[in-house]
Structure 1
Amino acid sequence: MKDSRIKELTQHQETDWNVTLVDTGDFAFSGARIDRCKKYINDEDFMVTYSDSIANVDIKKLIEFHKKSKKIATITGVVPQFREFEFSVKKDLSVEIYETKKNTSDSSGRYTNGGFMVFKKEIFSYLSSFNECKLETEVFKHLIEDEQIAISPHSGFWRWLDTDRDYDYLNYLADKNDMPWLQE
């Protein structure tokens, strides 16, 4: 398999960033995709995000939170409209449980994965390159059992981009020049 990395996607002012786009296959779940990027990760913590959400997450604060937590994984937690799974969080912001979301009005201490994550290299001991490796189910479950996952609550702008409705709403905001994902 030939190396299909893009060396430079665009000009930017963040000279200390290292962004690598990797073709991880068409059928791999998220855990397998991250595992297949292992050879590009040095000994530092690294970040992962999904491509189907947009937010104004303060990345510096997220990384600081991750370092203070001393956990293998830090997930940005959001309280969005009803979706599938959510984290139940202890007072110290470590994760207690990850389960199907209950459609209730009380969301205190309950968060959905906001899709912005920071990992220590030790995450690779929880992952597999097999297509079936799902970060959001078995990997999170094992991290929770080992008390190695924390939630960094995000109360700013966050939105999925999963449906035509989401797409239309985000374009509506952009057309009005109201793009809260670009604001701190």
Structure 2
Amino acid sequence: MKAVILCGGKGTRMGEETQYKPKPLVNIGGRPIIWHIIKMFSHYGIKDFILCLGYKGDMIKQYFNEMHWKNNDYTIHIENGLSNIEYHTKGTEKLNITMVDTGLETLTAGRLKKIKKYLNEDEFLLTYGDGLSDVNIDQLIKYHKMKGKIATLTGVHPTSSFGVIEVENGIAKSFKEKPKQGGFINGGFMVLNKKIYDYIPEEDCMFVQQPLKNIAKDGELAVFEHNGFWTAIDTLKDLLMVNELWNSGKRPWEVWG
């Protein structure tokens, strides 16, 4: 099964971090977000990826073209003006990454339309290039097949931005720092059947708006409940948080470790 990763947004809420690079290339622990996402999927045996590129997509292409020498120790042997590279650490992963320029201003539904020809199976995974989680992809796929619906999304509980105080008779009984709230939001890790293309209109739109809402209206949207770690890296504050987790050794999304 292929994993489609939406990498085309401008990431305007991250300020200077995305002024000169696309959000998927913003670093966490010295490696770009996209590296962490691919490592997570690869842990579950997903080796085929389609990247929907847009804003500064050439930089993402360049990263993967140069990834081998950037992530490995090597010696350059120079003789008679010719050079030969000897790598000292050899990777064991075999990945197939298709990079597709889906447009600078294209919305997510339009990006999906532009990569349809690269999907050779009825079902595929979809996620965003700025989300991290320890969601079990094997269980997500199994749940999708069990429900037999057109689409399955990972439902996560949003976290409040503020602490909550439990009060009884005017006295604080407990204080919860940023507790999880009731209900679900879309955690961004989805399994989709190609029938979703029947719901994508001619006019460009966000996939989670008209198409996904109509899929849900037809009773064809399943929700896989995830109570573990999940975060979207939307702001500089989010980026600082995940880097602090990485540097402290608390890396809940590092399922491959």
TM over 0.5: yes
Deviations, residues 94-135 of structure 1 (Å, cap 9, x unaligned): xxxxxxxxxxx861xx211101111011111112464x3211
- Contact 2:125 2:192 (8 Å CA) reproduced: yes
Name which structure has the greater RCO, CA cutoff 8 Å, separation 6+: 1
Aligned amino acid, residue 112 of structure 2: I
Residue 151 (str. 1) matches residue 151 (str. 2) = no
> Aligned-pair distance for 1:21?
2.6
**How high is the TM-score relative to the length of structure 2?**
0.54
Structure 2 residue aligned with 1:101: none
Task: Give me the whole-angstrom Cα distance separating, in 1, the residues matched to 2:128 and 2:106.
Answer: 14
Aligned amino acid, residue 126 of structure 2: V
- Match runs of 1:15-34 below 5 Å: 18-34=96-112
Structure 2 gaps of 5+ residues are: 1-57, 69-90, 162-179
CA RMSD of aligned residues (A): 2.6
SS of equivalent residue, structure 2 residue 250: coil
Task: Give me the whole-angstrom Cα distance separating, in 2, the residues matched to 1:32 and 1:178.
Answer: 37
The 3 A distance-change label for structure 1 pair 36 and 173 is same
Could you tell me which of 161, 178, 184 is aligned with 2:250?
178
Deviations, residues 127-167 of structure 1 (Å, cap 9, x unaligned): 2464x321111011110121111110111110110011100
- Match runs of 1:6-155 below 5 Å: 13=93, 18-81=96-159, 107=182, 110-128=183-201, 130=203, 132-155=204-227
The 3 A distance-change label for structure 1 pair 27 and 116 is same
Deviations, residues 3-30 of structure 1 (Å, cap 9, x unaligned): x9x79876553x5x65423221111111
SS of equivalent residue, structure 2 residue 126: strand
- Contact 2:133 2:230 (8 Å CA) reproduced: yes
Task: Give me the whole-angstrom Cα distance separating, in 2, the residues matched to 1:12 and 1:133.
Answer: 39
Q: Identical aligned pairs, as a percentage?
A: 34
Q: How many residues align?
A: 155
Task: Give me the whole-angstrom Cα distance separating, in 2, the residues matched to 1:129 and 1:165.
Answer: 37
Aligned amino acid, residue 242 of structure 2: L
The 3 A distance-change label for structure 1 pair 81 and 12 is farther
Structure 1 gaps of 5+ residues are: 84-104
